Structure formats: structure tokens, C-alpha cells
Amino acid sequence: MAQEKIDATVHLFCGLPTSGKTTLAKELEQTHQAVRFTLDEWMIALTDHTIFDEAYGVMVEQLKEKFWDTAVSILNHNIDVILDWSLWNPQRRQKWIGRITELGADYKLYYLNIPPVVIRQRIEARNNDLPPGAHWLPVDELDHFLPLFQPPAPEENLNVVEIYLGQDGPIHNPHLEGDTFFWPGSEVGVLLLHGLTATTAEVRLLAQKLHAEGYTISAPLLPGHGTSPEDLNETTWHDWAWTAEKAYQHLATVCDHVFVGGESTGGALALYLAAQHKEIAGVLCFAPAIKLAIPTHDMVRLYVAAPLVNSLPKDNVGNNEHWQGYRVNPLRAVMELIRLGREVRRLLPQISQPVLVMQGRNDKTVSEDVGEIILEGILSERVEHHWLEQSGHVILLEDELNEITAVTLNFMQKARSH
């Protein structure tokens, strides 16, 4: 039973390390004339234990209780309180919000929705110049944190204030893991490349299924992706191809056989690699963007607009819960994709490896004849072309992934046996 209403608010946080919790807490301290309790600052001042020591965890819980005892007195004087530590899961949120509600105070939960790739960059930068009141954290430790981190869900029915990277939240589904990943497996490797404006989240579901079958998987985050659309506009298709090349070379050093593949732009890059490396075992093209479904008059407008307009909003960005990437199309980057497609079409006669092409029947992004263009242009004797009747453009994140996986596994098995 809640007591009489208190005219004060407790400010709470949910965010990964370096997401900006303490920076925001200090801002709230000033704007709300609140009393701030930042856990890390106190712990570093009180103990030499690190966050990996068992004694540290015990002290943390004791200190939180001391903070709360003091916070109750402050709240009863109608002064806001800031509890600066992360409520990573529903159980932690329920515990503290329950206490606040029972006391009769209000609360706000600030969810700092920052992409993991940005978190990783921030950890590296902070470690190089560690500020006072901050812990040194190995970058690889983020891989252990991510599976434990549970963002606030709608069913929790919480008073959440969502904070994005920057002011406009350029990345859709920033909570998804979209950074570069490498999963060791057998002597057969698969390079998976994501599409324009996306991240490795676009190929992760297929990667998980292939890795479960024993394949070694490599998926690099392409330059200009996972940060801001402005960054992508500063890159060229040569930058993307060079990153793909480096990832392939690394995979080829640890695997005896390597397949290259990708979604959309990633499919075009896979074909580009195959033209450069005859030893590649096969090519996996998922909605390959070697030619876009843009009418001629719209293409002319694009050429005119690209030097003048940075980007245009997407009209369907929220349709897929598994897709992560920019909410806009950076126009100079789109022009680079068009140039990449033109180059790949020119190189098709140099491709002789087995090639798999899979397209969604409802794809409005790439031209429907890309499969025919590829099959007619390459010199490969073993080719397969499959249509997915229910899928659109991002076929690796839609409802026919199981069929795609089965076809892909069968294709790679046959390619290796001949």
C-alpha cells in the first residue's frame, strides 16, 4: 500500500557501460536540482576491488542500500533523487520501482538505447584515457554483458524515457547486436556481408543456423555503418569492398574452403570477391543489389539530388523487428551502390564458381531481373536460382528463413562434393 503522495521523482537508468548514464545523471542533477548517487564514483573512492572481484559485488549491494536509506529522507523533503546505476533486467527494475512506488514518489527510467558497436568504440576510447570515477573494462567483456542485458519491454508498462545516439535516433533497433563477429567452426568458412544502411544483424539469424551446422562464420561491419548516416555518405564502395576483402583473407587463412555471400549490397560484394578470387568455393547471393528497381526518371532525379541532399527518410523502416540500420537512405551512399552494381555486372564473365541466387517475389528494392542477369553473365556450370514467394527484400530476416537455410546448406554441400 503506497503512502501519501510525495512531490519528488527518482531518476533511474538502463544502459550498457559507456552509454552515457553518468553524463545524463549530472545533467539531471543540475536541471532538476536533484541529489545524485553515482555508484561507480563511490565504489572507486572506497575500495581497490575491481568489478570482477566477489567482494566488490557484496559491497555494491550494501552501498545501494545505504544510498536508498538516505534517498528516502531526501525524497520526503520533496527533493528529486538520482540513482545512477543500470537496471539491466526486469527483476532489478521491479525491485527499485516497487520501492519507489511504495514510498509514494514518482520515477522516470531513462533507457539509453545506444548501438553495441558504438558502445564498443566508447569503451576503447575510455580505456585509453580513463576519467576519474570510471572503471577500466576490457572491450571483450562487452560480449559477456550483451546476453544479460534486457531493455525495458512494453509489457513491463514502465515510465520510460528512451535516449538515442544523438537527437534523432538514426539507428532502428539499436539494442540489437550489429557489430563485426567471427565464430570458429569447421574447416569450411562462410563470409556473410550485410546490406547498405544495415548492420551484421541482417545476416546474424542465418549465421546462427549455419554455425549450428559446424561452419566457421565471419561477418564484418562495413565502413560507415552502425554509427550515423553522415559517416556512410563519406565512404565509397571501394571501402566496403576492402573490408570484405580483409575479412575473406582472414577466413581463408583459418579455413580450407570458403563460401562468400551476402544480403543486397552484401550479395553484390560477394560476387565482386568471387571475380577476384577463383579459389572461392561458391557464392551465396540473397537479393543481390547489382541493379536497383529505380525507374529511369527517378534515377535522373537521384543523380541530381545526391550532391545536394544528404539523405531521404525510409517509409518502411519499422516493419522488421530483426533489422537494424539507418532510418534514412544516405543518397551519396546509394550512388556508390549503383556504381558497385555497374562494376559487378561488368565482372560477371570472370566468375566461374558455383553460384546460388535467392530472391523475394515481393522485393521492391532490387530489380526483379537480377537473377537472370547473373545467371546469363557468369561462366559457372553449377548455378541455382530460387524465388521466395512470401518474402520482400530482406529475405534473411523474413518468414522463409528456414527454406533459405535448407537450400543454402544443400547448395554448399553439393558445391563441395564436385
Residues 78, 8: Cα–Cα separation, whole Å? 5
DSSP string for residues in 187-207: SEEEEEE--TTB-THHHHHHH
Residues 30, 225: Cα–Cα separation, whole Å? 35
Per DSSP bridges, beta strands 216-219 and 181-183 are antiparallel
For the stretch 53-102, pLDDT in tens is 888 889 999 999 999 999 999 999 999 999 999 999 999 999 999 999 99
Q: Which fold has domain 9-164?
A: Rossmann fold (3.40.50)
Closest CA to 348 of 387, 382, 375, 386: 375
* 1 band by pLDDT with thresholds 50, 70 and 90: very low
pLDDT exceeds cutoff 90 at 285: yes
Sole residue written with cell 528497381:
293
pLDDT, greater one: 363 or 54? 363
Residues 6+ apart with CB under 8 A from 267: 193, 261, 284, 285, 286, 287, 288, 289, 290
pLDDT of residue 49: 82
- Using CA of residue 316, residue 318, residue 324, residue 327, what is the dihedral sign? positive
282, 415 contact by CB (below 8 A): yes
* 169 band by pLDDT with thresholds 50, 70 and 90: low
Which run of H or of E encompasses 44?
A: helix 39-46
pLDDT of residue 61: 93
Residues 340, 344: Cα–Cα separation, whole Å? 6
Closest CA to 283 of 184, 391, 395, 384: 384
pLDDT exceeds cutoff 60 at 329: yes
pLDDT, average across residues 301-321: 75
pLDDT of residue 114: 85
Residues 255, 188: Cα–Cα separation, whole Å? 5
Residue-wise over 296-309: b if at least 16 C-beta within 10 A, else e? Answer: eeeeeebeeebeee
pLDDT of residue 347: 98
- Residue 169's CB is within 10 A of a number of other CB atoms, namely 13
Residues 226, 317: Cα–Cα separation, whole Å? 15
- Residue 35's CB is within 10 A of a number of other CB atoms, namely 17
Amino acid identity, position 188? V
* 312 band by pLDDT with thresholds 50, 70 and 90: confident
Least confident range of 4-8, 173-177, 219-223, 333-337: 173-177
pTM value is 0.67
Domains 9-164 and 181-416 are alike in CATH topology = yes
pLDDT of residue 20: 87
For the stretch 292-304, pLDDT in tens is 998 776 777 777 7
pLDDT exceeds cutoff 60 at 250: yes
Query: Which set of grid coordinates corresponds to residue 315?
Result: 517509409
For the stretch 40-57, pLDDT in tens is 999 988 988 877 788 888
C-alpha Rg value of the chain to the nearest Å: 25
Region class of 346: left (phi > 0), else alpha (psi between -120 and 50), else beta:
alpha
pLDDT of residue 30: 86
For the stretch 2-40, pLDDT in tens is 467 888 999 999 999 888 899 889 988 988 899 999 999
Question: Does the domain made of 181-416 have the CATH classification 3.40.50.1820?
Answer: yes
Residues 38, 326: Cα–Cα separation, whole Å? 33
The domain locations on the chain are 9-164, 181-416
Residues 196, 263: Cα–Cα separation, whole Å? 9
pLDDT of residue 167: 40
pLDDT exceeds cutoff 70 at 165: no
* 168 band by pLDDT with thresholds 50, 70 and 90: very low
10, 81 contact by CB (below 8 A): yes
Long-range contact set of residues 43-46: C-beta below 8 Å, sequence gap at least 24: 44/132, 44/133, 44/134, 44/135, 45/133
Residues 178, 322: Cα–Cα separation, whole Å? 11
pLDDT of residue 210: 98
pLDDT exceeds cutoff 50 at 228: yes
pLDDT of residue 2: 45
113, 151 contact by CB (below 8 A): yes
